[in-house]
Amino acid sequence: MIFIFGLTIQTQAQPASNYDQHKAFNPEFMSEPGTTFRGGSGAPGPLYWQNRADYNLAATLDTTQHKISGTSEIHYTNNSPDALHYLWLQVELNLFKEGSRGSYSGNVPTTAGGIDIQQVEVTQDGKTYKADHVITDTRMQVRLHQPVKPDGGKVTITVKYAFRMTTNQFRLAMMDSKNGAIYDVAQWYPRMCVYDDVRGWNTLPYQGAGEFYCEYGNFDYKVTVPANMIVAGAGVLQNPEEVLTKTEIKRLDKARQSDETTYIIKPDEVGKAETRPKQEGMLTWHFKMENSRDVSWAASKAFVWDAAKANLPEGKTVLAMSVYPKESMGKNAWDRSTEYLKHSIESFSADWYPYPYPTATNVGGPVGGMEYPGIIFCKWSINKANVMYFVTAHEIGHNWFPMLVGSDERRFGFMDEGLNTFIDIYAQDKFNHGEFGPKRDGEYDPEGKNPARDIVPFMTKDGTEAIMNFSDVLQWKNSHMVNYYKTSLGLVLLREYILGHDRFDYAFRTYIDRWAYKHPRPEDFFRTMDDAAGEDLGWFWNEWFYQTWTLDQAVTAVHYAKGKPEEGALITLTNNDQMVMPTTVKVVESNGKTGEVKLPVEIWQRGGTYLFKYASTSPIDSVIVDPGKQLPDVNPSNNVWTNDNKLTKK
């Protein structure tokens, strides 16, 4: 028996459901109290602290041996309440050393060898000494003579090192082009591990799939290369008069004022003597970047170079640039790179948070899609317009997640890949009146966001994994679907279906504002969204991110009150699987009248069957659950009831 609206209705027997409301609405989920470091609201607490690493870097490129030699001088500030008796550094180039952990857990080439640490020195209280250090795979421990004091204690670590570049590394590599070698240089210096309030030292080894977790600081770095090469570096070039010609400086000044792409080095000028201030010997390029977590660079004499102005809120601008070999040119390839870069920066800045750096550069080279603060590496051989757009937008989008909002990519890949893919969807829709957006019947449809059904084949296959897994634990075949697509589609569901644009956007911007240049964890994101949107979404975070549950909503019966359509229809819905969602029901009557009822997720709090009364005035022709196909329903065949079904009148 079900009692509703004062009526007693006999319902037909339904098959047993797999649903348990106590799991879906688990009161213990994310119930740990906040701390003075991280509040229950998801905001940084009043005693939140974060350590800092400022870098002075110098590197020299030997193009004969394809070798880089350098010095990493790290000025480290311990803002934690703990005295630090030792320090941990990342030496991620050891991934490419034979016997690395990554070489066993993934398809990692080891022909390059690792990083050669030649000297480690520590300076404390004005005294410098050779440091006792131990290298374990991709981590290096530096053991101190005396601890770094808490609450602002300082220490300087200086490391001399060298490593080789090869053509088969990933995230950094070299390649030959028609006009010279191209070097994409990243993970190129020893850098600090993060020490935080959650785990202390974060020393997960770098194995390839899991990316990076870095401290913020200022970078002052110099790169010395043969004089005939161009260096594209993150940050602001400090000595243009030494490394550029007067013509190139003039063209850059013009590009800073222009919304149209301007050549700095034209295709027919590549490799010519007049593009360089000198031809022989070496030149040192000097860059600075403030409040960043990393820097990277690329070098080649083969670069075409173009640039344009990108417009930010409040009248601010940044310089968007692209460098690429001549063979990358084409209207469907790199000719429009700066246009794509410019639009992406403008879109993300207008929608979510202003772009945080003064320059942005897209490098066409050997690395096929990788992001760093202020600079991205995209494959030189891309020759499809939609691919070129999406890769550019996605990689520069990482400057919001995780370059600005500094999450731990190595543990929680979805916090950068998924959130970034989410903002990509909306920027792509807007580009050039929908050139690469969703299309229906040949026409652009900016509201055509019904992507949730796309995830169903993944959610129902054997071997499906939850989002809340380390990237290095996920199966390679699943990692993109989990970190990128399931995460981003879940956020689309929140924005388009559950919260609506206004509430979602306000909460999402609040998260970015709260955690800009800080280190959030997943719970900080979830709690902030709940707090700012005013909605307890624990049911959603649990089922979408921690579980592999599926959704199966159905219409299982339609009755008429007192057996008369004009007295109202009594519609029975069931939730057959463990996932829950709010429910939209469309009702079509025989008199042509159509109506929709939006039911909150709370209809499933007391079980998997829900009966509601619809104010019909004539017989029902059909009842449809999820008429817009916005939900990841694994069995849409039971979403529709029609009057061809047997109608029970009790």
Contact 592, 619 (CB under 8 A): no
pLDDT at residue number 179: 97
Distance CA 513, CA 611 (A): 43
Query: How is 211-277 classified by DSSP, letter by letter?
Result: -----BEEEEEEEEEETT-EEEESSEES-HHHHS-HHHHHHHHHHTT-SS-EEEE-GGGTT-GGGSS
pLDDT, tens digit (0-9, with 9 covering 90-100), for 32-82: 999 999 999 999 999 999 999 999 999 999 999 999 999 999 999 999 999
pLDDT at residue number 647: 42
pLDDT at residue number 439: 57
- What's the gap between Cα 198 and its chain centre? 22
Mean pLDDT, range 337-362, rounded to an integer: 98
Structure tokens at 478: 């699943």
Distance CA 369, CA 2 (A): 57
Residue 9 has pLDDT above 60, yes or no: no
pLDDT, tens digit (0-9, with 9 covering 90-100), for 100-125: 999 988 778 888 899 999 999 999 99
Compute how many other C-beta atoms are within 10 angstroms of the C-beta atom of residue 488.
22
Contact 438, 448 (CB under 8 A): yes
pTM of the model: 0.94
- What's the gap between Cα 483 and its chain centre? 9
Among residues 299, 343, 352, the alpha carbon closest in space to that of 318 is found at 343
Among residues 177, 562, 524, the alpha carbon closest in space to that of 381 is found at 177
Query: How is 493-514 classified by DSSP, letter by letter?
Result: HIIIIIS-HHHHHHHHHHHHHH
CA dihedral in degrees (95, 99, 105, 107; nearest 10)? 70
The rounded mean pLDDT for the chain is 93
Q: List strand residue ranges (DSSP E) for 149-186, in order.
A: 153-164, 173-177, 180-185
Question: DSSP alpha helices (H): ranges in 8-81?
Answer: 21-24
In single-letter form, the type of residue at position 553 comes to Q
Residues found in the chain: 650
pLDDT at residue number 16: 56
DSSP SS3 for 297: strand
Distance CA 362, CA 112 (A): 25
pLDDT at residue number 308: 98
Residue 569 has pLDDT above 70, yes or no: yes
